[in-house]
A and B are shown apart, each in its own frame.
Chain A
Amino acid sequence: MTVRNIAQAINDALDLALAKDSDVVVMGEDVGRTGGVFRVTDGLRDRYGADRVIDSPVAESGIVGVGFGMAVGGLKPVLELQFMGFSYPAYDQVVNHVARIRNRSRHRFSAPLVIRIPYGGGIGAAEHHSESMEAIYTHVPGLKVVVPATPYDAKGMLLAAIEDPDPVIFLEPIRLYRAVKEEVPEGWLTQPLGEARVEREGEDVTLITWGAMTKETREAAVLLEENGISAEVIDLRSLVPLDIETLTESVQRTGRAVIVHEAPRTGGFGAEVAALLQENCLFDLAAPIRRVTGWDTVFPLKRSEHHYLPGAARIAAAATQVMEV
């Protein structure tokens, strides 16, 4: 066991994967010599060489297109796009090719690559550097979309993603990179994709979230507890595939649900979760499902960030309202 933050846990996972499997390659802007904008790939180029830890030009469509071809050719690329806002030039490759080649080739081949995308607010840089557009990926058939929020999950899920036969969008909450530390076992470990994590057990209301919002949601649960409300907190960690069983079981028990995400509300992944829950357990619900989300506006500069991002108070207030129904 060693104490790791999320950035280190991801670095460990990449290190293990590169060491174990000579087909694994890492590619992205500045990932080699510099170790990437967030220094997540630090030291890997020195250990595995420039042919396997590749500094690319600024060319996201190229990075993903080449990665796709590498995967088709039998390699296992782990691509880094610097910020979610810079993933859009590559979206065409992702949607039109990466996600569909298994189906299009009638299962004869696939593109088992991993695209790592740092995402989410909290670094004060507005717009492209801060937004959470996970829904543009969850909407695409053929992709898996996962979001670890702990060092253990970051390591285990990245290794699972590298082993996975399908393309995985691996979202990394920027704000948590160095904010959460825990003991993580050394050596290879995998955390299966598609399993939610019950972060805290409770009886009165289920708070459902993922990514950096796990922190605020946990804090909201503490606030609620002070007011006598027992909140269960579930970290989805995997949006696609979604562990709807765990959610349904919890909401059937509590009868109340609040979904928290930092992405804009309209068309956000929370809407999908709410729809599935009402399909599965409408008659167990004692109150309408509520969402606490970022606003339907452009992600603002640092000074307004706290107005944009859901905080513990906003989450607790919504949960309290749900309790009062």
Chain B
Amino acid sequence: MPTDGRYDYALREPRLPRPVDTTLAGAAIDLDTRLGMYQRLHELRQFEKRAYDLFLQNLVKGTSHLSLGMEAIATGFGAAMRPDDYTFATYRGHAHALARGMDMGQAMAELLGRENGVLGGKGGSMHLTDVSKGMMGSYAIIGAHLCVANGAAWSAQMRKSGQVAVAFFGDGTTNIGAFHEALNLAAIWKLPVVFVCENNLYMEYTPIDVVTAVGNPAAGRASAYGLEPVLVDGNDPDAVFLAARTALARARAGDGPSLIEAVTYRSGGHSRADPGKYRPEREVSAWAGRDPIPMYHQRLLGLGTPEARLSAIERQVADAVDTATEFAKAGREPGEGSLHTEVYADGGSKWRN
């Protein structure tokens, strides 16, 4: 049993971000895509900041898990995916839902538990789902949805639809059995599926290195399933977009699954109740300096985009978030009746009671 320094959290070195890869400015990504990603980054950021404000006003009920700081991953993938591709996300799923085009008002209303929410106020923050947008659910049981994504990928293969299933999950998730089952299944069946590990360096409150056999929880396991290790900067939308494009094309071409590890950091705590104090100050501030949004702003300016264009996008997003908030607040609370609906195919639950 390890009793060495691995367990001494005080001696643990902070995990600092790598510097920005400035060569990515020259990547072959057209400006419209980039501006779209810029807008998306802002949508995810401003939406979640608003959600947090509403929580402080006691309007968002229950727990929720924010992706603040991690938006580049959902953004990069959202931009690279086809509208009919499948997304499977976790309880930390607001960003992925919005990145697939879930209506912001309906999403906000769902967080508020209102009847006009995307799930009628029955799913809440942890279960955002919108089948019409290919957002096939947010799953709050660690690892479960990786296997599910395989099944959806299999169906796409059988229907020859060319769709790809993408499963997003955390670093901690690489240590549960379902992760390993899912990767092996995808590999032996050569399924059109992409596994995306959002490595934010923490499994809840525990640093991932303390509980993981390899330094890179996903990339370090890829070879066990005959896959290439793919490690990308999860705070750079361009890096994520390029990795996504490659993996999606590979899946669509029938060349099987990919496993991508996108290294990132959440700027806040694990969930609403968590101030995140277990993280070294130096680590938190270093990552704050690698926030994807100011970096991308600089990159777009460097590519010749006028400041006015970027600030217009920011204003437009701010308006959209305000509108979404008003829409959400205007919604009614679901009545007692909604408790008993949709348990069985007949639409109810009554025959059992």
Contacts and interface: CB of A to CB of B under 8 A. Distances in A.
B10 to A, nearest CB: 10
Interface stretch (A6-14, A50-58, A158-166, A169-177): A50-58
Nearest to A82: B204
A37 B204 contact: yes
A322 B235 CA distance: 63
B9 interface: yes
Interface stretch (B35-43, B172-180, B236-244, B247-255): B172-180
Interface residues of A, number: 41
Given A126-B126, A297-B339, A89 B141 contact: yes
Interface of B, helix, strand, loop or mixed by DSSP = loop
A239 to B, nearest CB: 22
B121 A303 contact: yes
Nearest to A265: B353
A62 interface: yes
Contacts of B124: 126, 301
Interface string A271-314: 00000000000000000000000011110111110011000000
Contacts of B140: 85, 127-129
B7 interface: yes
A296 B176 contact: no
A59 B343 contact: no
A33 interface: yes
Given A57-B212, A86-B142, A307-B336, A297 B343 contact: yes
A51 B290 CA distance: 36
B215 interface: no
Contacts of A22: none
B333 interface: yes
A298 B126 CA distance: 14
Interface of A, helix, strand, loop or mixed by DSSP = loop
Interface residues of B, number: 42
B205 interface: yes
B205 A297 contact: no
Contacts of A128: 140-141
B161 to A, nearest CB: 31
Contact of A304 (B172, B204, B278, B338): B338
Nearest to A267: B352
A200 B61 CA distance: 35
A213 B224 CA distance: 49
A212 to B, nearest CB: 17
Interface string B306-344: 000000000000000000000000000110101110010
Interface in B118-152: 121-124, 126-127, 140-143
Interface string B203-228: 11110001110000000000000000
A29 interface: yes
Contacts of B7: 50
Contacts of A55: 206, 210-211
Contacts of B63: 123-125, 129
A191 interface: no
A262 interface: no
A61 interface: yes
B113 interface: yes
A58 B175 contact: yes
B22 interface: no
Nearest to A50: B7
Interface string A207-240: 0000000000000000000000000000000000
B352 A266 contact: yes
B1 interface: yes
Contact of A58 (B123, B173, B336): B173
Nearest to B210: A55
B217 to A, nearest CB: 10
B110 to A, nearest CB: 10
A71 to B, nearest CB: 16
Q: Which of A58, A125, A298 has the most CB of B within 10 A?
A: A58
Given A56-B211, A124-B61, 9 more contacts: A51-B1, A58-B173, A129-B140, A265-B353, A266-B353, A295-B349, A297-B340, A301-B122, A301-B123
20 contacts: A33-B278, A49-B3, A57-B212, A58-B173, A58-B175, A58-B176, A59-B176, A62-B177, A123-B62, A126-B62, A127-B126, A295-B339, A295-B349, A296-B353, A300-B122, A300-B339, A301-B121, A303-B121, A303-B334, A304-B334
